[in-house]
Structure 1
Amino acid sequence: MLLLWAVRMVRTGVERAHGARLREALRGARGGTAQMALVGMILAAVLQSSTAVGILAAGFVSSGILTVPTGIAALLGADLGSALVVKILSFDLSGLIPLLLLVGATMFLKFEARTVRQSGRIVLGIAFILLSLQMVGQATEPLRDSSLLPGLLGYLRGDPLTSFLVAAVIAWVVHSSVATVLLFVSFASSGMLPLEVAVPMVLGANLGGGIIAVWLTRGMELEARRIPLGNLIFRGVAAVLLLTVTQIIELPIALLGTTEPVQLVNFHLAFNLALVLLALPFVRPMDRLVQLLLPDRAVETGGDELAPIVSMLDRTSVGIPTVALASTKRELLRMGETVAAMYHPVMELMDGGNLEKIASVRALDDQVNRKHTDIKLFIAEMNRGNLTEREAKLGAGLTDFSITLEHIGDIIAKSLLTLAETRARQNLRFSPEGWLEMCNLHSRVEANLQLALNVLISGDVESARQLVKEKEVMRKLARDSHDRHLQRLCNSHSASIDTSDIHLEIVRALKEINSLLVTVAYPILTESGHLLESRLAQAS
């Protein structure tokens, strides 16, 4: 468990510190399959996860930034990158553990800068990976003298298919092929896992690693799901074929190293390298195959895609204010989730989304408008009954937040998506610095949207205070982005000049959305006495 947690710790540290830059690197590499494979390999080596790269690529395919063949190429390269991580971590680096723990903990605990703290998380994660491998080796050492082990290994020697399938299941369950292969290498180092058993298990781990991305993207659009499916077919066919070959002829694995653990790691690396070289020329035929396996659904013309989901507003409860208000909150939460679904893909659409995808996201605004109207009329009907002062005030607050969400939906549909259309039609490109600033602002507002919905449901004062504080943080970030953009214009940065109006409009819209979200906290803080009536200083 320490090994699994440490691998995840490194990945989350890299994503939090450099996530926007990594996404920029992936979206910027559109030249060809070889280039995409190289970028995927580098990203997977940094993230220590080919699955993370696969999900990123799937998201970009959904928004039209990447094609399915280039996404498959990126995932093939990512598998090679994760194999390189296994190779690096298989060296005896135990002497570095104390130093890595000291440096990582100091960076994480003693510094306030986000990048430094997350870099400390990465260093700590690497230390924990090395420590966990050392602990696994020590803990399993007594098993070598177990009377049960020879019988189990004897069975697995005679049944490589079982070894293969068991390893695939293990890799899928732990959701990390890197951790799974490292575990097998650790067992091999302690003499528990002979090479003839370990080889089928490494092949099985490669199959299981391909299944992970297919499983995690199962709820995405069809185009996004085709990428991990194509990668899984490549990996599965290659693994099964090589497993079959090992039963017919003896592979010269002894040439891959002097010890069995080294041979096992190099075999894993060689398998992924060969797979990239052999599969890259066939990514386009694979695209056609996965289109046959996951065909496009027939387009409905009756407008059913905009049909409202069954409302949470219980008309029979209008005369019971407490129940009516509770059902209103649930419907508002659904309305907020629809707004979040509109907001989430904005930056992907801004970068390379096609007009059809932009139109499909804009269509969600009709659902937001319908929910807003239903909530407004439901609260108005409830107000005709006998309400306490607190119930009337709460109903008014829910109506106000419904208006706020409807306004946010309009900003997304009529401002941000219109800007995305303009960028797409004129084929403009943002400067790397400007794009990074906008992505950071977008991510911050998205987190605040979720916080606002939590505040709506919980009414928690501390969460409401945190949300209001985010307004000042967002104001400063927007101001800094504005100033840096103007500085780039002064320096005659061509990309900044071409996209200047769009950049400033996006920053202004994101700031306005954030300010609207904060309003959900005001009634809670006013009632609890945590909000001043005016920000103006008293005249002397």
Structure 2
Amino acid sequence: MTGSVFFLHLAGAIALLLWATRMVKTGVERAYGDVLRIKLRSTMRNPLAAVATGAGLAIALQSSTAVTLLVGSFAGSGIVSGIAGQLAVRGAEIGSALVVRLLTFDLSLLVPICLAAGTTMFMATEKREWRQLGRIIVGIGLLILSLEMIGQASEPLRDSRLLPLVIDYFSSDPVTAFLLSAVLTWLFHSSIAAVLLLVTLASRGLIPPELGVVMVLGVNLGSSLIAPLLTRTSPAPVRVVPIGNLLMRGVGSIAVLALFLSFRPPVTLLGATGTDQIVNAHIAFNCLMLVAGIPLASLILKASEAFVRMSTKQEPEPELADVEPTILHDSALKTPHLALGNATREAMRICEIIEVMLARIFELYEAADQKGIDALARLDDRVDRRHARLKLYLARIDPAEMTEDDAQRCSELLGACVKLEQVGDIIVRNMLVHVRKKVQHKLEFTGEGWRELAAFHAAVLANARLAFNVLVSRDATTARQLVAEKDRLRDTEKDTARRHFARLREGSVRSVETSTIHLDTIRDLKQINSLLASIAYPVLEERGLLNNSRLRAAS
């Protein structure tokens, strides 16, 4: 096998490993993301529970970085404390290491089972939850398959005359090997993928265990850099937990490397084989970071907060789009297609604000504070101002200069603008009232009721994003999907109401106390979904896909 063919096979196997890891991660996020977020928020008050929850989430999401970003956003919103966030991240690192341990077993028989079962599940139904579960299972199968492919692709290295020279160089220069593995991990954006690559190569005898331990420490350094770099432009509070993880795990990996090179402990203490030694070194390091991180949590939190303050500009950050120059230029009014382009861009700004409002209102349902409530009300004021400007701008376009298509687009934008303003009003005038009532009376939903609301809200938020895409792209396929989702959501509402009344009949105290808020919230979300779905009607009507306000069968 030539060198170019070898690298092609190895690159393909590594690409499949990264893709499979992403498939599992996104599948879990789409199917169970809201449930996992709720679980994380509800268990972060107890330090041990925070560690266990972080580990469980990392195993489910196949990524400690995803957990770090999630916990960082919660800490930034004040939902969890900085110390609890750090402990959850420590647990996530251990969970990520345990995933590596699991994947080192011989799981080759699972490949055809996972591929067959997952594909069948994905293609046999249109239910989102089952399709995402099928995606997860297929991802697991591809993940195991990619490890086999990496092993097969690396076989020619056994006979390579160049490899021993490269290994000897890195063995004599462990700092370079440490930094190289850190860079590779950052490029992979996955410590799981990086450690699995090292394990596969070590199982073929291509990497000596001592060098493998050094590179595992480099993997941990590289992994600790990912979240801080991804959040470097985020608000300061969101960056505290990722920076704290870098200070603890990144600095810890450098300290452990120095100790390892100074004392040269026998790696046989970590296991009998090279594979076990590398994996156990990864697990032992993250367990050590957890043990050391508990007493150092307060110190690390103060240091990370100080670092974030020093690296953040002191002037207050501008509110979303408040300082952006207007794009509704009067000079374009004489050229309708230019003016409509400007109006479309302004409408998308309104869509962005509505999406933020729709996401934040549900966060307030779970953990409300006056600052968050006031901020949401200000967003609605911004929507009202932009709606008024856009409406007047569209009215000033000269009708005599517009073609029939221009006139239709103008009507679409005006209708969408009105609907978006109505959505903002529902969020602030209805749902925000429910939030205040829930806080005032200290009400709590039942676990089942909250999961139903979370799932319903997630579906509406997903449909909102579809509607915003339709407004720009005018894509008929997306428009059909949006209206079909409206019908599906109507059936979901009926099932939700039926289950809620069943809990009322059973005499659930919390169901009785929150009944009005529960049903009114479902009604408000359904009304929002209907308003957003109606954005698709002009596109479908133009293509003859509507029949008495209902979708025609696809031809």
Same fold (TM over 0.5): yes
**Does the 8 A contact of 1:306 with 1:363 survive in 2?**
no
Distance 1:305 1:466 in 2: 30
Matches within 5 A, 1:95-244: 95-244=109-258
1:389 offset after TM fit, Å?
4.4
RMSD: 2.1
**Does the 8 A contact of 1:428 with 1:499 survive in 2?**
yes
**Does the 8 A contact of 1:13 with 1:122 survive in 2?**
yes
Q: Does 1:514 align with 2:525?
A: no
Q: After the TM superposition, which of the residue ranges 183-192 and 284-293 deviates more from structure 2?
A: 284-293
1:195 offset after TM fit, Å?
1.6
Q: Which residue does 1:424 correspond to in 2? A: 439
Matches within 5 A, 1:97-496: 97-295=111-309, 307-383=322-398, 385-496=400-511
Amino acid aligned to 1:450? R
Amino acid aligned to 1:366? D
**Does the 8 A contact of 1:63 with 1:352 survive in 2?**
no
1:131 offset after TM fit, Å?
1.6
Distance 2:180 2:549 in 1: 65
Task: String of CA shifts for 1:317-373, please: whole Å, max 9, x gaps.
Answer: 111112111211111111111111221222222101322122223211222111111
1:534 offset after TM fit, Å?
5.8
| Distance change in 2, residues 1:212/1:421 (3 Å) | farther
Secondary structure at the aligned position of 2:396 is classed as: helix
Q: Which residue does 1:73 correspond to in 2? A: 87
Distance 1:95 1:476 in 2: 40
Secondary structure at the aligned position of 1:428 is classed as: coil
Distance 2:319 2:227 in 1: 30
**Does the 8 A contact of 1:89 with 1:130 survive in 2?**
yes
Amino acid aligned to 2:413? L
Distance 2:145 2:230 in 1: 29
**Does the 8 A contact of 2:480 with 2:540 survive in 1?**
yes
Q: Which residue does 2:3 correspond to in 1? A: none
Task: String of CA shifts for 1:260-307, please: whole Å, max 9, x gaps.
Answer: 111111111111111111202222222222221113876859x97783
Distance 2:401 2:113 in 1: 69
| Distance change in 2, residues 1:42/1:300 (3 Å) | closer
Distance 2:540 2:125 in 1: 31
Q: Which residue does 1:538 correspond to in 2? A: none
| Distance change in 2, residues 1:234/1:304 (3 Å) | closer
| Distance change in 2, residues 1:393/1:97 (3 Å) | closer
Q: After the TM superposition, which of the residue ranges 482-491 and 115-124 deviates more from structure 2?
A: 115-124
Secondary structure at the aligned position of 1:410 is classed as: helix
Q: Which residue does 1:85 correspond to in 2? A: 99
Distance 2:228 2:354 in 1: 27
| Distance change in 2, residues 1:230/1:155 (3 Å) | same
**Does the 8 A contact of 2:185 with 2:194 survive in 1?**
yes
| Distance change in 2, residues 1:114/1:462 (3 Å) | closer
**Does the 8 A contact of 1:44 with 1:82 survive in 2?**
yes
Secondary structure at the aligned position of 1:291 is classed as: helix
Q: After the TM superposition, which of the residue ranges 210-219 and 196-205 deviates more from structure 2?
A: 210-219
Q: After the TM superposition, which of the residue ranges 140-149 and 416-425 deviates more from structure 2?
A: 416-425
| Distance change in 2, residues 1:313/1:489 (3 Å) | same
Task: String of CA shifts for 1:188-219, please: whole Å, max 9, x gaps.
Answer: 11111112211111001011111122222334
Secondary structure at the aligned position of 1:311 is classed as: coil
**Does the 8 A contact of 2:225 with 2:250 survive in 1?**
no
Task: String of CA shifts for 1:64-115, please: whole Å, max 9, x gaps.
Answer: 3212211111111000000001111111222433333333333333355444
1:436 offset after TM fit, Å?
1.2
| Distance change in 2, residues 1:335/1:148 (3 Å) | same
What runs of 5+ residues in structure 2 fail to find an aligned partner? Answer: 1-14, 551-555
Q: After the TM superposition, which of the residue ranges 258-267 and 22-31 deviates more from structure 2?
A: 22-31
| Distance change in 2, residues 1:394/1:14 (3 Å) | closer
| Distance change in 2, residues 1:226/1:5 (3 Å) | same
Q: Which residue does 1:37 correspond to in 2? A: 51
Amino acid aligned to 1:365? D
What runs of 5+ residues in structure 1 fail to find an aligned partner? Answer: 536-540
| Distance change in 2, residues 1:167/1:291 (3 Å) | same
Identity %: 42
1:180 offset after TM fit, Å?
0.4
Secondary structure at the aligned position of 1:344 is classed as: helix
Q: After the TM superposition, which of the residue ranges 484-493 and 175-184 deviates more from structure 2?
A: 484-493
**Does the 8 A contact of 1:168 with 1:205 survive in 2?**
yes
**Does the 8 A contact of 1:383 with 1:392 survive in 2?**
no
Secondary structure at the aligned position of 1:345 is classed as: helix
Distance 1:176 1:496 in 2: 42
| Distance change in 2, residues 1:388/1:108 (3 Å) | closer
TM-score under structure 1 normalisation? 0.94
Secondary structure at the aligned position of 1:313 is classed as: coil
Distance 1:222 1:308 in 2: 20
Matches within 5 A, 1:10-49: 10-49=24-63
| Distance change in 2, residues 1:85/1:164 (3 Å) | same
| Distance change in 2, residues 1:116/1:317 (3 Å) | closer
Number of positions where the alignment pairs a residue of Structure 1 with one of Structure 2 = 534
**Does the 8 A contact of 2:23 with 2:135 survive in 1?**
yes
Task: String of CA shifts for 1:466-514, please: whole Å, max 9, x gaps.
Answer: 2222222222222222221122122122222222222122111111111
**Does the 8 A contact of 1:63 with 1:349 survive in 2?**
no
| Distance change in 2, residues 1:112/1:335 (3 Å) | closer
Distance 2:549 2:37 in 1: 42
1:150 offset after TM fit, Å?
1.6
